[in-house]
A and B are shown apart, each in its own frame.
Chain A
Amino acid sequence: MDVSVKRESLEAMRVFDLATVPLRELNSALHTIAPGTNDTSFEVVNPRGSHSVAVGIDQPVTVEVRGSVGYYCAGMNDGGAVTVHGSAGPGVAENMMSGTVVIEGDASQYAGATGRGGLLVIKGNAASRCGISMKGIDIVVHGNIGHMSAFMGQSGHLVVLGNAGDALGDSLYEAKLFVRGEVKSLGADCIQKEMKPKHLKLLAELLEKAGVTDVRPEEFKRYGSARTLYNFNIDNADAY
């Protein structure tokens, strides 16, 4: 790499210390980026569990968060690359549209909820309701996920290298779920499905995109919707 270029990019990095600067200042700066600018590197220090860190990004910026965050970090992200060097509270990357969110630690409940696109990588465990109502987001969890994950998932992919809790994929639509470990129980209308060559290929691509190199797609099982609850049928009343 050209040393002078590297130096310049370092100088362009804007640092927000949330111990001294209000959160609003960080988020305002992220919301007023002119399209095409080179000034797109941000660092956040001392987040100390703050809520709503780096929400509403709509430009291809990179944000490095040094520490753990509270509710709704990187919510509504549209094109940003946010890395949390710590753990995340409830609702991380909620309703993500595009871009990448990486959590180096654990994530609390409803990570990636209602996400429409982009990639969420959780390197630790995710708690309950991971990917609830997902609508196109790809989520890769290195550890385990909690109960009611992918509830009513409509599209997108949830890849879990560890185990899944109770009621995985309850009332699932067309989201595709891949779990490498044990599934404690499947939710209503969620079934194990055959892993066909096209699914192995898809999973290999997802793992590669998430930087996972030490596991093979063949180690996973695939789960999806049995499609019996799409329309109300009185014979299925007990399953709802």
Chain B
Amino acid sequence: MCGIVGLFLKDKSLEPQLGAMLSDMLVIMTDRGPDSAGIAIYGAPSDGRAKLTVQSAKPAADFAGLEALLKPVDASVSVELKSTHAVIETDAAQAAAVRELLAQERPDIRVMGSGDSVEIYKEVGLPKDVVSRFGIRAMGGTHGIGHTRMATESAVTTLGAHPFSTGADQCLVHNGSLSNHNNLRRELVREGMTFETQNDSEVAAAYLTAEMAKGKDLGQALTSALDDLDGFFTFVVGTKSGFGVVRDPIACKPAVMAETDQYIAFGSEYRALVNLPGIEDARVWEPEPATVYFWDHEKAA
């Protein structure tokens, strides 16, 4: 099953509430999947700064003295600890060097996401517990996506939770199951992509990253996904400024969308949307099968 949600704000006055709104939407979807939960929040990027969200199974050991460890590479580095995750903010020019040092000195730390604006939090457990341990409700941002998982294709672990991020400021949540992911993974490895899990959804994320690396925008990458991915899927995808939705041609995985002057929202079910402001008068529709929907803050501006 799985439950997925997404929220793309048009009205800046709602931005401080993004984390709270998205958390409420995800918690309502809990009974679609109790195994693990995750949320990606896109905050306002600040010039010349980069963000790295990392995770550890042994945070006490791995995060001890982390800031001091990284200072020699980037004097401006800051580390914010949030339970099993940490958000490392660096000078964008030093981001690669920081990441290299991290991999060398703290090899058990896993990167959840990186980029100018995205922060990704995911763990095993119920949505209500996951959003509270990471303080998601207090977070602001421009857009975000969330997922609560009923595992089918790979183990119930932190790394197997969604969202999957395989490129800077890119992430994906998936309801469904892909049938050609092993083959596709082999092809993507040959193209130079790396994988953390045996999960099918990670392959979908990496596929989109690889397509966008070839110069496609999110909408074009989602369109080619319809040709190259086999199986059941409803995807909700985030990029630095964009938000996309696509369903496979059979479209048995549920999806409902709502749009008002203030936001575009996605839910696996209408229940996820009922607390949004002005939902009574929103345009509510079911996304068509094999049809790409995407919105972009930069293109709208």
Contacts and interface: CB of A to CB of B under 8 A. Distances in A.
Interface of A: 48-50, 68, 70-71, 87, 89-90, 106, 108-109, 127-128, 146-147
Contacts of B93: none
Contact of A70 (B251, B270, B285, B288): B270
Contacts of A109: 251-252, 254
A172 B41 CA distance: 47
Interface string B242-254: 0000000101101
Interface in B241-284: 249, 251-252, 254, 256, 269-274, 284
A89 B285 contact: no
Given A49-B270, A50-B271, A70-B269, A106 B286 contact: yes
Contacts of B289: 128, 146-147
B274 A128 contact: no
Given A90-B254, A128-B251, A108 B271 contact: no
Interface in B164-178: none
A117 B2 CA distance: 33
Using C-beta atoms within 8 Å of the partner chain, give the interface range for chain B.
10 to 19
B284 to A, nearest CB: 7
B251 A108 contact: no
6 contacts: A48-B271, A49-B269, A68-B270, A89-B254, A109-B251, A147-B251
Contacts of A146: 251, 288-289
Q: Is the interface of A mostly helix, strand, loop or mixed?
A: loop
Given A106-B285, A109-B254, A128-B252, 7 more contacts: A48-B274, A49-B270, A87-B270, A87-B284, A90-B254, A109-B251, A127-B251
B286 A49 contact: no
B257 to A, nearest CB: 12
The 10 closest A-B pairs by CB, nearest first: A49-B271, A49-B270, A48-B274, A127-B286, A68-B270, A70-B269, A49-B274, A70-B271, A128-B251, A49-B269
Contacts of A49: 269-274
Interface string B171-197: 000000000000000000000000000
A127 B270 CA distance: 14
A108 B254 contact: yes
A48 B289 CA distance: 25
Contact of B270 (A89, A128, A147): A89
A106 B258 CA distance: 13
Contacts of B288: 146
B286 A108 contact: yes
A87 B279 CA distance: 13
B268 to A, nearest CB: 10
Contacts of A50: 271
B36 to A, nearest CB: 23
A89 B269 contact: yes
A214 B285 CA distance: 26
